[in-house]
Structure 1
Amino acid sequence: MYLKVLQMILKKLDADYKSFFSLWKKGDNKAKLPGFKGSKYFTNLCYNQSGVKIKKGEIKFSYNHPDKAELSFDISTKFYLEDKNIRQIEIFRDEVKEEYYISISYEVDTPKYKDNGKYQAFDLGVNKHIGVNMSGKFVGFKNPRPDKYWQSKIEEVQSKKDRCKKGSNRWKWYNKKLQQVKRKLANQMKDWQHKLSKKIVENTKANIIVVGDLDTKDMAQNNKNVEGLNRSLQNTGTIGRFVRFLIYKAELVGKKVIEINEANTTKKCCVCGKKQDMPLHKRTYKCDCGNEIDRDKNSAINIMNRFLSQERSVNEQSSFMEDFLRQTGLEYANQQMSKHSQETPSSRTT
């Protein structure tokens, strides 16, 4: 085994242990120690810049095999890698398809970020994502929820597997079938997120995209008694992954994603600032001030307001609300300005 590969394996193991202890200190009782992989599982081989030779149509890896066997992959000539600043190459095995792949990470030149004074805020939810721009105009994207289609199939295969003797041929067959069904669900969700994140980044005129700093683990713990929500959060827990997709796609085109603490953005009226409980079954926010709006739109406006009050100016915040309220006929409470500006800044720029 090439020495650098062994070093990379130890670095990964060290990172996994640090992640576990970090979660454990934060009170995550579900955090688990890194598991041991048996000999039947393939251990990913990770190479940095050394130990790899790239020629047209082929990648060769340093591999100290006793029989001097070569470790190489044929690659399509359309992937021209000779001039790329490669940071890392990883060989991994797809246990479901029983095939080997390589993952290549390399640096790309990205345009510098420029603030064009245009921003778009998003409330990211389980069923839909709602965005609002500086003109007070909304855009919505409905989650196709492939988990609803595949969940019954997963449960059916799981039930048949549970009735088999563990380790038997039928158990192994159903176990593989279960992995295949789960893989289809994961692939469909990831495909939709890739396409949507690209669409948002490319179509928005804003150079800053603001999203709520959503913690799906906390949401699941705080809503244990809400039937179906925990499963939905786990199947679409992928909201954090969607934000990561937004971040790197935005960087590629010279834009920026900022995460804002979205605490109470659902409960607070975007017009007068009053708070009220908003259980999940209440889809419309109704306030004594006359504001009646979809709960997700209300949250998106509050996220934008919080961003403007913490990161920009009161004038920009006032202009945004005036453009929005011009469409509703309501008046914006001026005391909201001071309330937003007094909130403790807790944004994270990425």
Structure 2
Amino acid sequence: MLVMEFKAVLKKPQELAINEAIRTARFVRNKVLRFWMDNRGIGKKELYRYNTQLRDEFEFVKHLNSQACQASVENVERSIKRFFDNCKKKVPGKKGYPKFKKHSRSVEYKQSGWKLLPDKKAVKFTDKKGIGQVKLKGTWDLWLVDQKLIKRVRIVQRADGYYVQFCVKINNKTEPLQATGCNVGLDVGLKEFYTDSDGYAEPNPRFYRKGEKRLKFYQRRVSRKKKGSANRKKAINKLGRQHLKISRQREEHAKRVARCVIRSNDLVAYEDLRVKNLVKNHCLAKSINDAGWYQFRKWLEYFGEKFGRITVAVNPAYTSQTCSNCGAIVKKSLSTRTHVCECGCELDRDHNAAINILTRALSTVGHTGTKINAWGDLSSTLSGSGLIEQDGSVNQESPGL
């Protein structure tokens, strides 16, 4: 599934109509979720029947396209399924019990309720919400896409405006690249973005740290405005735009670096880190989130599948403590940045860990303890690898949904 995203050029009445459509989709979702909570044990059919009742009962719900309402029901269905799956798998911590949404920023149409105009530079929404014809601004070429392959159309609200996303069911794989004969292990860190097994260290851009001064400035302006006033809404929007800028910088950096790494190596090994657990350390949480380790891993797996490269997630246990030369355990604290072993091996701590990661990956490939996931990537299934939420790839090259 490929996601093509365009900036929507809207007039004020269209913005109000889109906001109404988003609120209606949220209303349907919350009502269906309440119906499930009050009637435990009901199945999908009952949820969809209740959705039909809502359309008969509320006129504003009937004005929204029927398949857009069904998409809201599907969101509830997915959240319920994810909750029960986490319970069956005995995921540690919270299981993700479905919650009501107070704020939502998107409405999703399936294959009805919208129509591409002949020039494919605009899309017309045909339900009774009054959105009408929306001009599209972007670099994707919709002429290359058969309209029957467009399975979803989403309108997404962000701090800098509205976007229209087309989810296209096409094979996004490219011709496999020629073999380079190179394998690499990556050790992500906070001092450097990553250090590979060849000793190269990619600098950590620290986008949030650099933009923190500006964020604090906008946050102070928000706190000084009167609650509920128009000036406060403007200040909140400027703060949101700054956060959006930083998140886009981090995402584009992870994408660019991951693409270069994948194209340059036949096999890429990295640590199977549980970032969700690591950020529980409040001293390092801000720096870990700023580094964007999971985004980097996500794009490594995506480009690995796209270009036919092998990506291996290995168990990170003792990769920093083990000597890459003799295999001895050399205990060290986080503040110790140089690995020094009795065998005479003296390396940077991260370089030593990267070599261990690559060695562990090469010993895992083809072994019974390794599985090939849905993307064809090799992932460690050793005990403690913790692939509950991390083992997955992204199916898009546009900004996240």
> TM-score if structure 1 supplies the norm length?
0.74
Q: Which residue of 1 aligns with 2:174?
A: 110
Give the letter aligned to residue 197 of structure 1: A
2:309 alignment partner, one of 255, 266, 288: 255
- Is the CA contact 1:194–1:242 (under 8 Å) kept in the aligned structure 2? yes
Q: Which residue of 1 aligns with 2:184?
A: 120
- Is the CA contact 1:258–1:349 (under 8 Å) kept in the aligned structure 2? no
Check 1:287–1:87 CA distance in 2 against 1; reply closer, same or farther (3 A cut).
farther
Distance 1:240 1:74 in 2: 31
Distance 2:183 2:142 in 1: 36
2:286 alignment partner, one of 218, 231, 238: 231
Q: Which residue of 2 aligns with 1:219?
A: 278
Q: Using the TM superposition, name which of 53-62 and 245-254 deviates more.
A: 53-62
Distance 1:82 1:154 in 2: 40
Q: Which residue of 2 aligns with 1:190?
A: 251
Distance 1:178 1:307 in 2: 43
1:148 and 2:209 are equivalent in the alignment:
yes
Q: Which residue of 2 aligns with 1:323?
A: none
Give the letter aligned to residue 234 of structure 1: N
Check 1:233–1:42 CA distance in 2 against 1; reply closer, same or farther (3 A cut).
closer
Alignment of 1:275-294 (within 5 A): 275-294=329-348
Q: Which residue of 2 aligns with 1:270?
A: 324
1:157 alignment partner, one of 215, 218, 225: 218
Structure 1 residue 23, shift from structure 2 partner: 6.0
Distance 2:310 2:112 in 1: 29
Structure 1 vs Structure 2 CA RMSD: 3.4
Deviation string, structure 1 residues 173-200 (Cα, Å, up to 9, x no partner): 3222211111111111112112211222
Distance 2:85 2:215 in 1: 32
In the alignment of these two chains, the number of paired residues is: 307
Check 1:66–1:158 CA distance in 2 against 1; reply closer, same or farther (3 A cut).
closer
Give the letter aligned to residue 131 of structure 1: D
Partner SS for 1:80: helix
Q: Which residue of 1 aligns with 2:11?
A: none
1:91 and 2:154 are equivalent in the alignment:
yes
Check 1:231–1:9 CA distance in 2 against 1; reply closer, same or farther (3 A cut).
same
Work out the percentage of aligned pairs sharing the same amino acid: 21
1:81 alignment partner, one of 144, 147, 153: 144
1:181 and 2:242 are equivalent in the alignment:
yes
Partner SS for 1:214: coil
Q: Using the TM superposition, name which of 181-190 and 17-26 deviates more.
A: 17-26
Distance 2:223 2:80 in 1: 32
Check 1:87–1:164 CA distance in 2 against 1; reply closer, same or farther (3 A cut).
same
Alignment of 1:306-325 (within 5 A): 306-311=360-365
Check 1:101–1:113 CA distance in 2 against 1; reply closer, same or farther (3 A cut).
same
- Is the CA contact 2:65–2:113 (under 8 Å) kept in the aligned structure 1? no
Structure 1 residue 163, shift from structure 2 partner: 4.0
Structure 1 residue 84, shift from structure 2 partner: 7.6
Question: Gaps (5+ residues) in structure 1?
Answer: 314-342
Structure 1 residue 213, shift from structure 2 partner: 0.9
Check 1:58–1:153 CA distance in 2 against 1; reply closer, same or farther (3 A cut).
closer
Structure 1 residue 70, shift from structure 2 partner: 4.1
Alignment of 1:288-307 (within 5 A): 288-307=342-361
Partner SS for 2:165: strand
- Is the CA contact 1:123–1:129 (under 8 Å) kept in the aligned structure 2? yes
Structure 1 residue 160, shift from structure 2 partner: 3.7
Partner SS for 1:138: coil
Q: Which residue of 2 aligns with 1:200?
A: 261
1:241 alignment partner, one of 262, 287, 295: 295
Partner SS for 1:144: coil
> TM-score if structure 2 supplies the norm length?
0.65
Deviation string, structure 1 residues 206-250 (Cα, Å, up to 9, x no partner): 3221111112122122x33xx3x11111223x3112111122222
- Is the CA contact 2:183–2:268 (under 8 Å) kept in the aligned structure 1? yes
Check 1:301–1:294 CA distance in 2 against 1; reply closer, same or farther (3 A cut).
same
Partner SS for 2:317: coil
Check 1:7–1:183 CA distance in 2 against 1; reply closer, same or farther (3 A cut).
same
Deviation string, structure 1 residues 128-167 (Cα, Å, up to 9, x no partner): 21122xxxx3332112111111122223322342344432
Q: Larger relative contact order (C-alpha < 8 A, sep ≥ 6)?
A: 2
- Is the CA contact 1:113–1:256 (under 8 Å) kept in the aligned structure 2? no
